Amino acid sequence: MAGKSEVSKIKLIIIALVKFLSGLLIVSLLLFVPAGTLRFWNAWLLIAALFVPMFVAGGVLIFKNPKLMEKRLNSSEKEPAQKGVIALSAVMFLGGFIVAGLDFRFKWLPLPLWLVVGATVVFLFAYILYAEVLRENTYLSRTVEVQENQKVVDTGLYALVRHPMYLATLLLFLSMPIMLGSALSFLLFLIYPALLVKRIRNEEEVLKAGLEGYEEYTQRVKYRLIPMVW
């Protein structure tokens, strides 16, 4: 059994590394090729802020909670309503990063340094929020589903909003184009809040139908995403 466990962990490490390096390569190409230079310092800032914590967090999950890591690596969406959301999100990232690179090259609508610094602070805070949600909820997968033996988590951040993970991603994704110094890219990323609303509404239908106690949880915690707003 120990041998099988070690083999499974090695396989998980390989899958995680392949996905990590693939993501790093894709993001780098999407940013530096349109920029036409490696001197796109905003891109280096985003890559460092995004991938260094991701590497550290991934390593911690693999050795501390490999089951959760396995869930996070699975992006095969089963809900038909979510497939369109995933596709539009991919288009948003593709367009947003390319536009940011072009914006740097042609100096269309560059953002001031103080705004880039502020966005970086928000981004790092959101990453801490993201890590805390992972600590609180071991059922978190990247797909909308009800897992075997899943229970409602209603403590910590989940006592404030029903979807703190999505709050973290909202802060992360909206700060990204500002870190890249591109107002035009930020306009493209504004599609994300609308996609998030659609995803949350569908996810809550699935959870209410399949997760015992979730209906009562929604009555106790009124706000889905942002306290006092929605």
- How many domains is the chain built from? 1
230 lies in a domain? no
What confidence score (pLDDT) does residue 177 get?
98
- Is residue 136 within 8 Å of 197, Cβ to Cβ? no
Q: How far is CA 158 from the centre of its chain?
A: 17
- In order along its 230 residues, the chain shows pLDDT tens digits of 445 566 577 888 899 899 999 999 999 999 999 999 999 999 999 999 999 999 988 888 888 878 777 777 776 667 676 778 888 999 999 999 999 999 999 999 999 999 999 999 999 999 999 889 988 887 776 666 666 667 888 889 999 999 999 999 999 999 999 999 999 999 999 999 999 999 999 889 988 888 888 999 999 999 999 988 88
What confidence score (pLDDT) does residue 76 get?
66
227 lies in a domain? no
CATH number, domain with residue 128: 1.20.120.1630
Domain span including residue 79: 2-220
37 lies in a domain? yes
226 lies in a domain? no
202 lies in a domain? yes
